[in-house]
Amino acid sequence: MTILDVARKNGVRIPTLCHESALEPYGACRICVVEVEGARAPVASCCVPAAQGMAVRTETPRIQRARRAIIELLLSDHPEDCLSCEKAGACSLQEYAYEFGARKSRYPSAEKHNYAALDDNPFYVRDYNKCILCGRCVRTCAEVQGDCVIDFAHRGYDTAVSTPINRGLIESQCVLCGNCVQSCPVGALTEKKSIRMGRSWEMEKVRTTCPYCGVGCQQWLHVKDGKIVKVTGVKNAEPNRGRLCVKGRFGYDFIYSEERLKTPLIREGDAFREATWDEALDLTADKIKEIIKKHGPDAVAGVSCARSINEDSYNMQKLFRSVFKTNNIDHCARV
């Protein structure tokens, strides 16, 4: 375990920006510095293994000064945009600037980055003027998503997160899962559908299970005035441990579609008419019974839906095998 792991396990708070528990330690931001007795300089607690008998101080005046200086250096090249930034209220840089009293940077930069915001895909915007180069998106894409689509390009002051040859995300291998967006601690990556839909403190978080497939990923719905404005994965919860795919994260609009079926429909001639569930189920049962009576059990077959939960698929095969007496049962995801 690292010093940070031990501290967190024992309820000792150490601030971090580049650290994420699902990722390998990185030691980029240095805000997690602590004093270790006998060490010449403060060390990054996220990268240094804890040892028996080690004496560590996490909140000395020297450590507080170091953390404040780090925040001020980050702010020296950061837009003063908190008033209208989508991340305000949920931004780690903003939180630490407040905590360490970094109101104005002592390191005013003669030059500030002025990148154009990249709006090159349907789901999220990249504004690298707000990027603090923590590498969480890069490492999430490589270590969690396994796609390695983005990395740091250039050197020194020009370092920036980039796709290969700085092409648009759509032209890259990006699968638009948005896991990088969720891991960004500041406002550099923003879900398009949540822009100006509400502040983080106005949202109610509702836990649910993704409706798209049988994996059953755990989600937080960020809800304002009864409307979903963002979806994120639940960290430390099985089976997805915070990850989502493009459908689970961005495909929630269907629930507001006017075309959504709300009642069963029964075909009569060329048209459909609305029916109650009892009527529709009785009709289905009668038709199945009639077919089995006329042609035998193997004349019917069932395909269960990939959006169903495992238990429903299990019950469906049980119905076909034990009640209808046929093994003609399959699942649409089995290709």
Contact residues toward ligand SF4 (CB under 6 A) are: 78-79, 81-82, 85, 87-88, 91, 93-94, 130-137, 140-141, 145, 147, 149-150, 161, 174-180, 183-184, 186-189
Burial of 32 (0-12, 13-18, 19+ CB in 10 A): buried
Q: How far is the CB of 156 from ligand SF4 (least distance, A)?
A: 16
Alpha carbon distance 297, 292 (integer Å): 5
Which is nearer to ligand SF4, 46 or 288 (by Cβ)? 46
Q: Which two tokens stand for residue 326?
A: 């046929």
Beta strands in the chain (DSSP E): 33-36, 43-44, 56-57, 124-126, 151-153, 160-162, 189-191, 204-209, 218-224, 227-233, 265-268, 271-274, 302-304, 329-331
And the tokens for 165?
Answer: 């040859």
- Residue 147 or 299 with smaller CB distance to ligand SF4: 147
Nearest-approach distance from CB 66 to ligand SF4, in angstroms: 19
CB 49 → ligand SF4: shortest distance, Å?
25
**Measured from the CB atom, is 22 or 292 closer to ligand SF4?**
22
Select 19 or 130, whichever has its Cβ closest to ligand SF4.
130
CA 22 to chain centre: 12
* Bridge partners for 335 per DSSP: none
- CA–CA separation, 124 and 128 (whole Å): 13
Contact 212, 201 (CB under 8 A): no
Map residue 243 onto helix, strand or coil.
coil
Please check whether residue 71 is in contact with residue 102, taking contact to mean a CB–CB distance below 8 angstroms: yes
Q: Which is nearer to ligand SF4, 36 or 141 (CB)?
A: 141
Question: Minimum CB separation from ligand SF4 for residue 195, in Å?
Answer: 13
Given the complex with ligand SF4, which of 43 and 181 has the nearer CB atom?
181
Query: Closest distance between ligand SF4 and the C-beta of residue 271, in Å?
Result: 43
Of 119 and 330, the one with the shorter C-beta distance to ligand SF4 is 119
Q: Are 53 and 59 in contact (CB under 8 A)?
A: no
CA-to-CA distance for 130 and 115, rounded, in angstroms?
A: 10
Report in angstroms how near the CB of residue 71 gets to ligand SF4 at its nearest: 10
Give the tokens for residue 6: 């031990």
- The enclosing H or E element of 214 equals none
Cβ proximity to ligand SF4: between 46 and 176 the closer is: 176
Distance (Å) of CA 145 to CA 126, 175, 199, 207, 263: 18, 9, 28, 22, 38
CB 78 to ligand SF4: min, Å: 5
CB of 198 to ligand SF4, least distance (A): 15
